[in-house]
């Protein structure tokens, strides 16, 4: 393990964070929020000084460039895993220096939630609305940075040695891919990401949302994060057009971004064929449509209130209103975006359970959405079916097939192993929260919400609630769960395996 190269890269990541912290500082200067400006500048100076010091101290003394030697798979995994921990700590500094929270654990939780695009918060409704504009901007800006991936920015700027980083940050890249191809792939994803951001911002402004609010909610939508500067989230606006724009962009960001890369490079027909030919894309769209119709009909027959916090309380005797809230919350939960137009925790039990199932499954692989990912769910399901078939006819040849192709046994084993690891962490996390006297519904959905980067859960951590009442140690563990979910376990779990650090 080349620790000097890893630590030098972490130093450069800190320098990048310092540069990004200047953006909310400009916002603070524009709105004349001098305390927030000082907090952002102080955090930038501290990150910049530590990062520059690490970059200098751990430079290579040999004539050969550090980027050209001894940086392989393990170094890439170590850099990616540690980068998210370091960035979460650095992102907490503006909150701490400004005095937004009473404890650093709360600041760390909010920062980790932002960068991992989870959307869980320890802020009350009053705390959200009282935030200075600069701090509110930084809170949502961390979503946008984390959605693309702070490590991906590193790959774009420093392509040498980036193959290991890119492969660790974006699973599935071919091992033989060259450095230039990696950089081109990262730049292509960045162009799509920025393009969608600009397009949604313009659409929100067009339908009547203010410039600052449009920027905040765009930062929360494209990376499927969910932070809002309004206590009642999207329910505050009570606008169908705003909900439609946000729903549309949440939904399309749940598809694999490779589809949009195909759209830009080849054209709409090949991109459409790729969507139609993808079992994962069809399943994702089918789950969304089916759940929307089912929940909408249940709400219509139920006829209760939407329970929007601070919003307009309406009942569901109107089928249109039932379908409107159903669509928004279904897309929110399946893409792991933490926005809300209704308090779904007050809905009938079947709706609540179905929404949690959607949050568990998640969006497509290669998207900004969280969750297990639809393709993993499909592979686990097909592997279970094949297992039954092998039990019935042990001599027959049975294979797991997706999109007409047989999957290698190693791929199936990796996915089922991931599923098993997720279940172990979920159960252990739920038991850990239960040890603190947290009820099962709150504890299990809090773990689900953080592991799958969803945001809200049910009961005491529902859409109208927050995580502020959790004990400090629980908040810290849930913050680590957010990073585990964002990196999809392996890059973080590898760091605690003793053999990983041996030469």
Domain boundary among 231, 259, 274: 231
Residue 291 belongs to some domain of the structure: no
Give 400-450 as a 3 state SS string.
CEECCEECCHHHHHHHHHHHHHHHHHHHHHHHHHHCCCCCHHHHHHHHHHH
Please state the φ and ψ torsions of residue 301, each to the nearest 5 degrees: -70, -35
Residue 382 belongs to some domain of the structure: no
Domain boundary among 177, 210, 231: 231
The dihedral of CA 155, 76, 360, 483: what is its sign?
A: negative
For residues 484 and 492, the answer to whether their CB atoms sit within 8 Å is yes
The number of distinct structural domains making up the chain is 2
Residue 480 belongs to some domain of the structure: yes
Residue 78 belongs to some domain of the structure: yes
**Nearest CA to 280 among 380, 192, 167, 421?**
380
Name the 3-class secondary structure at 305: strand
CA distance 465 to 103: 20
**Nearest CA to 228 among 157, 296, 137?**
137
Task: Copy the structure tokens of residue 203.
Answer: 């659409």
DSSP state of 372: S
Residue with tokens 């000082």: 38
* Amino acid 60: pLDDT: 62
Q: Which domain covers residue 106, as residue numbers? A: 3-231
What region does 209 belong to: left with phi over 0, alpha with psi -120 to 50, or beta?
Answer: beta
For residues 54 and 11, the answer to whether their CB atoms sit within 8 Å is yes
Buried b (16+ CB within 10 A) or exposed e, 379-418: bbebbeeeeeeeeeeeeeeeebebeeeebeeeebebbbeb
For residues 42 and 138, the answer to whether their CB atoms sit within 8 Å is no
Integer angstrom CA distances of residue 407 from 114, 149, 413: 35, 28, 10
For the chain, 503 residues long, the average pLDDT of each consecutive 10-residue run is: 82 93 97 96 97 86 46 74 91 96 95 94 93 97 85 53 48 39 71 94 96 97 94 92 97 92 88 92 96 96 74 77 95 94 93 96 89 92 91 84 85 89 95 96 96 93 92 96 84 73 67
For residues 167 and 173, the answer to whether their CB atoms sit within 8 Å is yes
Cite the DSSP H helix spans in 277-315: 279-302
CA distance 3 to 70: 10
Residue 64 belongs to some domain of the structure: yes
For residues 245 and 204, the answer to whether their CB atoms sit within 8 Å is yes
Question: In the chain, how long is the greatest CA-to-CA distance?
Answer: 75
What's the CA dihedral at 209, 211, 213, 219 to 10 degrees?
Answer: 110
Please state the φ and ψ torsions of residue 309, each to the nearest 5 degrees: -75, 115
Integer angstrom CA distances of residue 213 from 129, 133, 206, 321, 346: 12, 10, 12, 24, 27
Helix (H) or strand (E) holding 275: helix 268-276
Residue 418 belongs to some domain of the structure: yes
* Amino acid 65: pLDDT: 47
Task: Copy the structure tokens of residue 48.
Answer: 């910049």
Name the 3-class secondary structure at 315: strand
Cite the DSSP H helix spans in 149-278: 150-157, 162-169, 179-206, 211-221, 240-252, 257-265, 268-276
* Amino acid 308: pLDDT: 63
Domain boundary among 192, 213, 231: 231
Secondary structure (DSSP) of 452-492: TT----SGGGSTT--STTS-HHHHHHHHHHHHHHHTTTHHH
Residue 331 belongs to some domain of the structure: no
* Amino acid 498: pLDDT: 72
Integer angstrom CA distances of residue 256 from 152, 170, 373, 482: 17, 12, 10, 21
Residue 73 belongs to some domain of the structure: yes
């Amino acid at each position: 393990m080349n620790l000097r190269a890893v630590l030098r890269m972490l130093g450069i990541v800190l320098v990048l964070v310092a540069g990004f912290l200047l953006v909310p500082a400009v916002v603070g200067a524009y709105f004349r929020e001098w305390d927030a400006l000082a907090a952002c500048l102080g955090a930038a100076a501290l990150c910049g000084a530590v990062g520059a010091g690490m970059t200098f101290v751990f430079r290579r003394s040999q004539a050969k460039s550090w980027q050209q030697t001894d940086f392989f798979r393990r170094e890439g995994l170590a850099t990616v895993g540690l980068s998210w921990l370091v960035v979460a700590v650095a992102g907490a500094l503006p909150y701490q220096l400004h005095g937004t929270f009473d404890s650093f654990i709360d600041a760390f939780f909010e920062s980790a939630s932002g960068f991992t695009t989870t959307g869980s918060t320890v802020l009350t409704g009053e705390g959200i609305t009282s935030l200075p504009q600069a701090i509110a901007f930084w809170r949502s800006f961390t979503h946008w940075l984390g959605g693309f991936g702070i490590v991906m920015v590193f790959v774009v700027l420093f392509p040498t040695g980036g193959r290991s980083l890119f492969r660790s940050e974006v699973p599935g890249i071919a091992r033989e891919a060259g450095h230039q191809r990696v950089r081109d792939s990262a730049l292509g994803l960045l162009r799509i990401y920025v393009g969608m951001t600009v397009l949604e911002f313009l659409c929100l402004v067009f339908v009547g949302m203010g410039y600052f609010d449009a920027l905040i909610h765009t930062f929360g939508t494209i990376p499927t994060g969910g932070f809002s500067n309004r206590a009642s989230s999207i329910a505050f606006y009570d606008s169908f057009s705003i909900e439609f724009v946000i729903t549309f962009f949440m939904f399309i960001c749940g598809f694999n971004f490779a589809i949009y890369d195909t759209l830009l490079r080849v054209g709409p027909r090949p991109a459409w064929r790729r969507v139609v030919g993808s079992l994962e894309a069809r399943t994702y769209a089918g789950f969304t449509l089916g759940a929307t119709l089912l929940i909408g009909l249940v709400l219509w027959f139920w006829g209760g209130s939407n329970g929007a916090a601070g919003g307009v309380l309406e009942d569901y005797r109107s089928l249109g209103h039932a379908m409107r809230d159903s669509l928004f919350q279904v897309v929110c939960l399946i893409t792991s975006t933490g926005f809300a137009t209704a308090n779904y925790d007050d809905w009938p039990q079947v709706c609540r359970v179905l929404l949690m199932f959607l949050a568990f499954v998640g969006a497509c692989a290669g998207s900004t959405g969280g969750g297990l990912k639809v393709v993993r769910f499909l592979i686990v399901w097909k592997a279970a079916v094949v297992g039954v078939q092998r039990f019935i006819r042990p001599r027959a040849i049975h294979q797991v097939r997706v999109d007409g192709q047989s999957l290698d046994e190693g791929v199936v084993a990796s996915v089922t192993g991931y599923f098993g690891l997720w279940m172990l962490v979920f159960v252990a996390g739920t038991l850990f929260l239960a040890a603190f006297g947290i009820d099962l519904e709150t504890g299990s959905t809090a773990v689900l919400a953080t592991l799958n980067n969803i945001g809200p859960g049910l009961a005491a951590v529902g859409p109208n609630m927050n995580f502020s009442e959790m004990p400090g140690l629980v908040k810290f563990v849930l913050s680590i769960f957010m990073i585990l979910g964002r990196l999809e376990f392996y890059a973080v779990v590898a760091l605690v395996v003793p053999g990983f650090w041996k030469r």
